[in-house]
Amino acid sequence: MSVVRIEGVSKRFGNVTALEDIDVSIAEGEFVSLIGPSGCGKSTLLRIIGDLIQPTDGNVVVNGKPARKARIDRDYGIVFQDPVLYDWRTVAKNVALPLEMARWSRQKRAARVREMLELVELTGFEDHRPWQLSGGMQQRVSIARALSFDPALLLMDEPFGALDEMTRERLNMEVLRIWEQSGSTIVFVTHSIAEAVFLSTRVVVMSARPGRITSVIPIDLPQPRTASTREEPRFFELVTQVREALHLGSDLDRTAPAPETQEATA
């Protein structure tokens, strides 16, 4: 059964078409990256899956139910580009936030927070405030929070976009380890080709104006991925393949007619 099924989804903001006729199906346990130039609507698509934005047309099914129902049932965890931690809460209490919302008991919460901080290797930082941590550590707190209630689906919106290359590669390894341990399905938005290829089982390439899917590239690199995966010839072939797909999309972009907004203002 597919965890996410997107059928004919379009999204217009005023007379700008952000997404046009998107169809994707994501199976359980998959790691799917959405990649594309800025303005291609990849973050919008992720938010539509999470029911944080409503599509103009089309249908989104998450865990076999409408996206809205899935959100109310707390079927997914979400990680934003900004860690979105609350300064008035300690690290432990930030991780416990979704558990509070789901009315877990105090003891159950404490046990789970301990477990999650161990998973993201932040044991000992329970009583710190978010602003006392580095950017990479903050993002790990955010991942721990998103995973704390065992969601079947993890939505990640350029979670490492603001981090330096070394931190990003280290956190990529952590995400893969967490994905293997938790067995959850991940939808991952990125603008880094190497990151998309390294992490994913499938890369969805999008183009801008209007946001469309131009190709879907299965990533057949062996599991588990390790640091040496990045050095394999097959890795470079796939990186090239994704890059070419992106360029094809941007060429289409250039020949496409100007968006209607410009006509309206002219």
Partner 1 sequence: MTSAAPVAVQPVPRGGLGKLVGRRLVDWLPAAVVLVGGIAAWQGLVVALHVQQFLLPKPSSIATTFWNNRSELWHAGWFTFQEALGGFAIGSSLAILVALVLARWRPLSAALLPYAIAANAIPIIAFAPIANQWFAGGLTKSSKIFIAAVLCFFPVLVNTLRGLTSVRPQDLELMHSYAAGQVAIFRRVRIPTALPFIFSGLKVATVLAMIGAVVGEYFGGTQEQLGVLILDRTRIFQFPDAWAGIALACLLGIALYVAVSIAEWLALRWSPSTSA
How many beta carbons lie within 10 A of that of residue 183, not counting itself?
A: 10
Backbone angles phi, psi at 19, to 5 degrees: -135, 140
Residue in this structure with the two tokens 């992106």, named with its chain if needed? 246
Among 62, 78, 152, 189, binds partner 1 (CB under 8 A): 78
How many alpha carbons lie under 13 Å from residue 51 in its C-beta half-sphere? 18
125 binds partner 1 (CB under 8 A): yes
Among 89, 202, 230, 243, binds partner 1 (CB under 8 A): 89
88 binds partner 1 (CB under 8 A): yes
Backbone angles phi, psi at 77, to 5 degrees: -110, 150
52 binds partner 1 (CB under 8 A): yes
Q: Closest separation between CB of residue 174 and partner 1, Å?
A: 7
Q: Which is nearer to partner 1, 65 or 74 (CB)?
A: 74
216 binds partner 1 (CB under 8 A): no
Stretch that binds partner 1, among 28-36, 169-177, 193-201, 240-248 (CB under 8 A): 169-177
Secondary-structure percent of the chain, ordered helix, strand, coil, rounded to 5: 45, 25, 30
Please say whether the beta carbons of 36 and 207 come within 8 A. yes
Between the CA of residue 18 and those of 103, 188, 247, what are the distances in Å? 37, 18, 19
Among 12, 114, 128, 202, binds partner 1 (CB under 8 A): 128
115 binds partner 1 (CB under 8 A): no
Between the CA of residue 200 and those of 7, 34, 152, 203, what are the distances in Å? 22, 10, 17, 6
Q: Closest separation between CB of residue 68 and partner 1, Å?
A: 9
Taking the C-alpha atoms of residue 183 and residue 115, their distance in angstroms, rounded to an integer, is: 16
Stretch that binds partner 1, among 55-63, 166-174, 178-186, 205-213 (CB under 8 A): 166-174
159 binds partner 1 (CB under 8 A): no
Q: Closest separation between CB of residue 101 and partner 1, Å?
A: 4
116 binds partner 1 (CB under 8 A): no
Between the CA of residue 118 and those of 58, 92, 123, 126, 222, what are the distances in Å? 40, 11, 5, 11, 27
Name the site residues for partner 1 (rule: CB under 8 A): 50, 52, 71-74, 76-78, 80, 82, 84, 86-89, 97-98, 100-102, 121-125, 127-129, 131-134, 136-137, 170, 173-174, 177
